Amino acid sequence: MKLFIKQNNILPGFGLSLGYTIFYLGVIVLLPLSALVVKTASLSWTAFLHTVTHPRVLASYRLTFGTALLAASINGVFGLLTAWVLTRYRLPGKRIIDALVDLPFALPTAVAGITLATIFAPNGWVGRYLEPYGIKVAYTPLGILVAMTFIGLPFVVRTVQPVLEDLEGELEEAAACLGANRWQTFRRVIFPILLPAILTGFALAFARAVGEYGSIIFIAGNMPMVSEITPLLIITKLEQYDYAGATAIAVVMLAASFLLLLVINLLQWRSRRYAKA
């Protein structure tokens, strides 16, 4: 292993670019994150476990991760549907609709939060129609689900669209020639090709929903054990001067995020392999 870094490479700027990149990451990311880890390490192992497995904390994990999973699944199904319709069908105003799919990505979380809370409150535009049926959206886990679905909306659509667009028509035509109807073609031919992209979008939507704060905090009920999301719990612990406790829960969330990132990267690696095949 010699200087294999600069092998076959006449391009300059390696030191400068990588150096600055690492410096930036170090100051902005690594240093603060290490403060997080060190603070948590000030807890004994038992204290750490006790904090992160407290029933209220566990309930918040269940709520946050569970609802995010559900929201990401909804986005998986409807995202695929949206991508399909946008790619394959003619629609008036398609370009505008397509552009608007990115709205949850560009809209600030707090704005989304107060808007959703206002719409789904018992006297809101939508809430007032659901109220007579006893369906409560605002301040319940259902409201959290709505908020999480909103913010995750673009992910699956945007990961599936490029793959759909690149799909070779010959595959479908071949399937049709061999006697498959549209549903069979979809299920056996198209869907497997789309699956990695769907999964990637799903994982991205999931990751986003888990960490989200601003758009959910206004519509969630914040009742411990029922509708309290984990990020809120972190803030609550902070406000009780329990820094170590807050960082402990944060570390658990971070670990989960890292795991998710790994999964996403793996999925992407697999999908690239598949695409190349």
Residues from 139 through 168 that contact other proteins (CB under 8 A): 139, 146, 149-150, 153, 158-159, 161-162, 165-168
CB 113 within 8 A of CB 217: yes
| Residue 135 binding other proteins, by CB under 8 A | no
Report the distance separating Cα 139 and Cα 219, nearest Å: 5
Residues in binding contact with other proteins, number by CB under 8 A: 136
CB of 274 to other proteins, least distance (A): 13
Report the distance separating Cα 46 and Cα 25, nearest Å: 32
Q: Which among 167, 200, 179, 209 is positioned nearest to 70, based on CA atoms?
A: 209
Q: Residues 113 to 132: which contact other proteins by CB under 8 A?
A: 113-119, 121-123, 125-126
Q: Which of 4, 46, 132, 277 binds other proteins (CB under 8 A)?
A: 4
Which residue is listed with tokens 């505008």? Answer: 96
| Residue 211 binding other proteins, by CB under 8 A | yes
3-state helix, strand, coil in the chain (%, to 5): 75, 0, 25
Residue with smaller CB distance to other proteins, 45 or 124: 124
CB of 233 to other proteins, least distance (A): 9
CB of 45 to other proteins, least distance (A): 19
Tokens of 139: 């301040």
Binding mask 88-107 for other proteins (x = CB under 8 A): xx-x---x-xxxxxxxxxxx
Q: Residues 235 to 264: which contact other proteins by CB under 8 A?
A: 235-236, 238-243, 246-247, 250, 253-254, 257-258, 260-262, 264
| Residue 173 binding other proteins, by CB under 8 A | yes
Q: Decide: residue 41, CB within 10 A, 0-12 exposed, 13-18 middle, 19+ buried.
A: middle
Tokens of 167: 């799909």
- CA distances in angstroms from 83 to 88, 115, 197, listed in the order given: 8, 26, 11
Q: Which of 2, 18, 42, 276 binds other proteins (CB under 8 A)?
A: 18
Q: Residues 39 to 78: which contact other proteins by CB under 8 A?
A: 39, 55-56, 59, 78
Residue with smaller CB distance to other proteins, 45 or 241: 241
CB of 7 to other proteins, least distance (A): 8
CB 243 within 8 A of CB 67: no
The pairs formed by 43-46 with CB atoms below 8 angstroms and a separation of 24 or more are 43/244, 43/248
